Structure 1
Amino acid sequence: MTGIGVRTPGGIGRKEFWDLLTEGRTATRNISFFDASPFRSRVAAEADFDPEAEGFGPREIRRMDRATQFAVACTREAVADSGLDFGGLDPHRVGVSLGSAVAAATSLENEYLVMSDRGREWLVDPDYLSPHMFDYLSPGAMPAEVAWAAGAEGPVTLVSDGCTSGLDAVGYAARLIREGSADVMVAGAADTPITPIVVACFDAIKATTTRNDDPEHASRPFDATRDGFVLAEGAAVFVLEEYESARRRGARIYAEIGGYATRCNAYHMTGLKKDGREMAEAIRVALDEARIDPTRVDYVNAHGSGTRQNDRHETAAFKAALGEHAYAVPVSSIKSMVGHSLGAIGSVEIAACALAIEHDVVPPTANLHQADPECDLDYVPLTAREQRVDTVLTVGSGFGGFQSAMVLRAPEEAQR
């Protein structure tokens, strides 16, 4: 990993994002994008994203959905950060792998409101149809825009399997490089789901918090008083290249992707088994692929959504996969600070893991004041922790039963 681009609540760019995490600040607030008063949950983690300040022209802003704008902005940052001359590469050896759970949900909902006169007309009027409606309807528009921005003419794809999309898209990109299908991959994820329809969907299943009077402290992973997750938007994109090639050109290497695995519980759309067996299996396979003993893991980035079911499920998975080391290794959830951006969060968390390796700092779990007795690991409450970080395990859990795990490690020359 030689380039990182990030757009998150409270963090436009790598530095702002990392400062937010290490300071333990939260970016959750009352929803301002629309009137949320009719909803059960009225808090979210919104990004202060200005497309004009990002260099997008009026036509690009009209053509691209907000999530696509996030993805392209992150791509530009990651490409510049990598120092790689994309113009000198064989474009057929450069690919794109992006993840997204709800893709262009923002634009689709806005267009429906226009065509139906804000829902007043049962039959929508096609005369008001945007000429860019296909780009909003087709999730493939997002990786296509990123491919154009990077000049990538190799394998280009979108991974959409819920909240593990951002992890799986990066894992897939790494495999394409390993198997020789690409030399360079632009990989990551973007989601901007803070819309009435998405908020209503999570309201219906009571997955989101009702702590509307205290949005700053609403996201409380592993805390006994938690009552659901905080919806968010965000994106992170990376430049990945073959390790020896990066070393030869003298690139700064943030981290190496050592191993990746994904499993499905084939059990329930939203339910999780208490034993965490499928996540534990994904962790074991990822560690095996990286050829790393569980005791060498220095930090675990948890999915940590802030629901009782998830927090207990992955705590059990860590114990099953890591054994006694689960009680010794620090575990934390950055969702406590930047919320849950659905398909994007896996990539956002990978960015946090790579920066943790670079700076030897473990981000905290904000708002963790009253520990859940059934979650009895070291969740790094409230304050970031300085320590050596060579190897990081990051995990994701998604509706549909998806469970994914990835191992990142410091470049060989930087390890102990």
Structure 2
Amino acid sequence: MSRRAVITGLGVVAPGGVGGAAFWDVLVSGGTATRLISLFDAAGFRSRIAAEVDFDPYAHGLTPRQVRRMDRAAQFALVSLREAVADSGLDLADVPPERLGVSLGSAVGCTMGLEEEYVVLSDGGRSDTLDHRYGVPHLYGYMAPSTLACEVAWEAGAEGPVALVSTGCTSGLDAVGHGAQLIAEGSADVVLTGATDAPLSPITVACFDAIKATSRRNDDPAHASRPFDATRDGFVLGEGAAVLVLEEREAARRRGATVYAELLGFASRSNAFHMTGLKPDGREMAEAISTALDQARLDPTAVDYVNAHGSGTVQNDRHETAAFKKALGDHAYGVPVSSIKSVIGHSLGAIGALELAACALALRHQTVPPTANLDHRDPDCDLDCVPHTAREHAMSTVLSVGSGFGGFQSAAVLGRAGRAA
């Protein structure tokens, strides 16, 4: 019998609320968690909007030493990990450490810690030479993104495969896909997987300002993220983390675990085209979708809901609309499609894991989260994009997709717990 990966626990740190319950509540509320940036003085930037997490690390159980050592992204990951493990009901002490793995995604690593240290070492940018004597002892850890996966592994006592996946904005999806593969191939029995990013720093905002990818709707930040809307003008940066507990399906059944969903298929493709550009026909994303469905042994008509990448840029929204039509055929017009980035912004590498958590919760609640702020549909994005209001909807199979700088295109298929094999 083939080994199959199921989700038995999830933990979330997201704009609008920390914890899986708060995350789901904000997704289905019809409101948004986007606002003017408060983490630093953003005056003078082209885009001054973000989806920030109201996060007190001490209130969530981190120690002063952990807070001092860890970048904000690592703090998010640990808080998400603890919730996910508790939610799963799994006692990690019962898992042989060499059978416990970690697969974590991040697009930009410890950006906030690095920038803060650069400011100190360069004397506020006044010196071209960095004086290492003023650096914190753990500065190297900020420079190595793998530190994030190490922190999760140390916390959990994982001595099996541990990896940091960094593939831009598909990092979260790709990390979970890798985690499922570790279980399928027999390298691990339990994998703690997901992604984290805390990119809300001046350097990140300046980079996206330079390519004019982010929204300038500074006078109305709550409605700035507008995927598939004809009046959209770019995406809104976010931050956050999600960790999922993946277990081998039969072992999860034997211990009586509650299963959110099974990861039925995963695939990734590259367009080998442009760092930020997308071909309008969506062929590479369509191929990832078709391959993931083939792995799941499902016809496109089995898809009951599509969680779109839905960044809110004209290029991306039209690209993936074309991909859905190519991969799903006429069924694309009959299946609900929505983007949670309209609510919690785009947290770069973390968003794919947050979207998979949203899909797992959508399956559990049999409810499609809406696309907020969709007031004037782009005629080139003519699918059922679920504007404004959450929708009760019978679902057995959901599709989640991601698109990342560098040409990465990924797709994952989740099946509802109890679905026939």
Distance 2:238 2:94 in 1: 37
| One of 102, 106, 114 as aligned partner of 2:112 | 106
Percent sequence identity over aligned pairs: 68
Q: Does the residue aligned with 1:357 lie in a helix, a strand or coil?
A: helix
1:271 aligns with 2:277: yes
- What residue is the counterpart of 1:160 in the other structure? 166
Verify: 1:12 aligned to 2:30, yes or no. no
Normalised by the length of structure 2, the TM-score is: 0.98
- Report what 1:23 is aligned to: 29
Match of 2:216 in 1: 210
Q: Distance in 2 between matches of 1:35 and 1:188?
A: 30
Matched, 1:186 2:192: yes
Structure 2 stretches lacking a partner, 5+ long: 1-6
Displacement of 1:347: 0.2
Task: Provide Cα deviations, 1:152-184, integer angstroms capped at 9, x if missing partner.
Answer: 100000000100000000000000100101000
TM-superposed deviation, 1:123: 1.7
- Of 48, 53, 71, which residue of structure 1 is paired with 2:59? 53
Instruction: Identify the residue that residue 258 of structure 1 maps to in structure 2.
Output: 264
| Cα deviation 1:94-149 (Å, max 9, x = unaligned) | 00000000010000000011111211222222221110101101111111110011
In structure 2, the residue matched to 1:129 is 135
Distance 1:388 1:150 in 2: 36
Deviation, structure 1 residue 412: 2.4
2:81 corresponding residue in structure 1: 75
| 1:342-386 CA-partner distances (Å, limit 9, x unpaired) | 000000000000000000000000000000010000000000000
Among 39, 63, 66, the alignment partner of 2:69 is: 63
Out of 255, 276, 281, the residue aligned to residue 287 of structure 2 is: 281
For residues 278-317 of structure 1, the aligned pairs below 5 Å read: 278-317=284-323
Q: What residue ranges of structure 1 are gaps of 5+ in the alignment? A: none
Aligned pairs, number: 415
Q: Which residue of 2 aligns with 1:397?
A: 403
Q: Which residue of 2 aligns with 1:356?
A: 362
Residue 324 of structure 1 is matched in structure 2 by 330
Equivalent residue for 1:34? 40
Deviates more, 1:244-253 or 1:281-290: 244-253
Aligned to 2:3: none
The one of 139, 144, 156 aligned to 1:138: 144
Q: Show the counterpart of 1:97.
A: 103
- Find out whether 1:239 has 2:228 as its counterpart: no
In the alignment, the residues of structure 2 paired with residue 333 and residue 288 of structure 1 have an alpha-carbon distance, to the nearest angstrom, of: 24
CA distance in 2 between partners of 1:49 and 1:315 (Å) = 35
Q: Distance in 1 between matches of 2:200 and 2:395?
A: 34
Cα distance in structure 2, aligned partners of 1:49 and 1:290: 38
Q: What SS is found at the alignment partner of 1:412?
A: coil
Contact 1:360 1:387 in 2 (8 A): yes
Partner in structure 2 of residue 117 of structure 1: 123
Aligned partners of 1:259 and 1:406 also within 8 Å: yes
In the superposition, the TM-score normalised over structure 1's length comes to 0.99
* Runs (4+) off by over 4 Å: none
The separation in 2 between residues aligned to 1:89 and 1:5, in whole angstroms, is 19
Q: Is the 8 A contact 1:299 1:362 kept in 2?
A: yes
- The Cα shift of 1:295 comes to 0.5
